[in-house]
Amino acid sequence: MRLLVAGLTGQLGQGLLEAAEGTDAELVPVIRATARRSATDRARSVFGRGPLSERTVEGDVTQPSWGLGDDVLDELASGIDAVLNLAGEVDWTATDRSLFTTNVVGAAGGLECARTLYRRGSRCRAYCLASSVHVAGGLTGRVPEARLGSDGKRTRYEHSKWPAEELVLDGASKHDAPAVVVARIGGLIGNSVTGATARRNSLYLLADEWRRLPGRVMPSFGAGRVDALPRDAAGRLVLRTVAAALADSAPEVVHVCAGEAAPRTDALVALARSMDVTGRLGGAVPLPVPSRALVWASQNAERFVDMSRPRGNALAGLRYLLLDRMFERDRLATAVGTDLPAPSLEQLARLLFELPTPEPRSVGDPAIARLDPCES
């Protein structure tokens, strides 16, 4: 399975690289050049020297067809099975222009690349767009793996992801090939083994801002959930989703997230505080906050006060931790199998709040063992 992939340098992209190790998946990165560095040089700085960097093609997801010329598309047409778009503007405080050009124009350009490759070589039979579970906006309860309607409670970021989904799904209905699947991604944290992370998203920002909480007050999250997966677990699910799309067995929308296994936010915070031996997470007083108030604040706060980038993203992150909802994974299970990841509460707490893993301790007292009557 040979995939043309945009966004490999991000958190999900790094998870995909980790998941692809030891499999038959061969990745061809699309990397943007800068004024001072070529795409290959940038790839080498991230991936190191090797086949992955040498396979890199220069492109830009904000341009039509990702900026890939006819000669590049002709060369790729006979060797690419699917196009995978992991690129996205995920700064929730970014400008409307940046959100639109990356998330909407990028989604359209990826679909056009997949169509062109199919027309020229008949081998590329799938296009997978990595979207976000947060297109659900202010929905609560069970969120289906299906197209969602308009929602006035969406943030600007969510308003850029939703039309991107609509655009590619509408385009898929007019063409037999390539098949299109939208993979809505939940929150991502670092690698499940090493904890390595490519960026510190709003979940990490919440941990960072802990000591600077105004008035030492933090929300009581009620029935809100933390829907997050380690990046390598999410990468494996995305690879399996693409394989299902190539086998014509993937639905048009799947949720790549913790779903029904997502823990309650209050439970996660309580466990993290109990495991924190430094006292860094102590002292905050929980205060009940109506979810509708935080939803409104996450949409409108920047209209009234100057919000730094970290504070703005942390506020949006609080919104996602407060809403009482569960993202269904039934269609994902149908496509990739029922062995879906369910990260433990302890694993999430340690990775999110960067708590050290305790050293293994021996059981019992060796001195007492010398008095074992079985040895006499």
**Both structure tokens of 151:** 């929602």
Q: Is the pTM of this model over 0.85?
A: yes
Cα separation values, 64 from 39, 98, 166, 231, 310, Å: 18, 15, 18, 29, 32
- What's the confidence (pLDDT) of residue 174? 63
The closest of 280, 271, 262 to 321, measured between CA atoms, is 262
Give the three-state DSSP class for 360. Answer: coil
What pLDDT score does 322 carry?
85
Residue 38 lies in a domain: yes
Number of domains in the chain: 1
pLDDT on residue 355: 79
Q: What pLDDT score was predicted for residue 368?
A: 40
pLDDT for 366 equals 46
Supply the range of the domain harboring residue 92.
2-192+228-259+325-340
pLDDT tens string for the chain (376 positions)? 999 999 998 899 999 999 999 999 999 999 998 888 888 888 888 888 888 999 999 999 999 999 999 999 999 999 999 999 999 988 877 888 999 999 999 999 999 999 999 999 889 999 999 999 999 998 999 999 999 998 888 888 899 999 999 999 998 866 667 999 999 999 998 898 888 887 666 566 666 666 566 656 677 788 889 999 999 999 999 999 999 999 999 999 999 999 999 999 889 888 988 888 877 777 777 777 777 777 777 777 777 666 676 667 677 777 788 889 999 999 999 999 999 999 889 988 888 887 776 655 544 544 444 444 444 3
Query: 10 Å Cβ neighbour count for 291?
Result: 19
| Gyration radius of the chain's alpha carbons | 22
Would residue 148 count as lying in a domain? yes
Per-residue pLDDT, 259: 96
Which residues, other chains included, contact 341 with Cβ-Cβ below 8 Å and sequence gap of 6+? Answer: 229, 230, 233, 236, 237, 258, 261
Q: Is residue 30 part of a domain?
A: yes
What pLDDT does 358 receive? 60
Q: What is the pLDDT of residue 357?
A: 66
Residue 106 domain flag: yes
DSSP code string of 57-118: EE--TTSGGGG--HHHHHHHHTT-SEEEE------TTS-HHHHIIIIIIHHHHHHHHHHHHH
In contact, 169 and 109? CB cutoff 8 Å = no
Domain-located, residue 70? yes
Strand, coil or helix: what is 222? coil
Residue 293 included in any domain: no
Q: Do 113 and 74 form a contact (C-beta atoms < 8 A)?
A: no
- State the pLDDT at residue 138: 87
**CA atoms of 335 and 332, how far apart (whole Å):** 5
CATH of the domain at 81: 3.40.50.720
Identify whether 351 is part of a domain. Answer: no
In this predicted structure, what is the pLDDT of residue 337?
93
Q: Is residue 7 part of a domain?
A: yes
Question: Which residue intervals of the chain are DSSP H helices?
Answer: 11-20, 39-47, 51-55, 70-77, 96-99, 106-121, 156-172, 202-208, 231-246, 265-275, 291-300, 309-322, 330-336, 345-352, 366-369
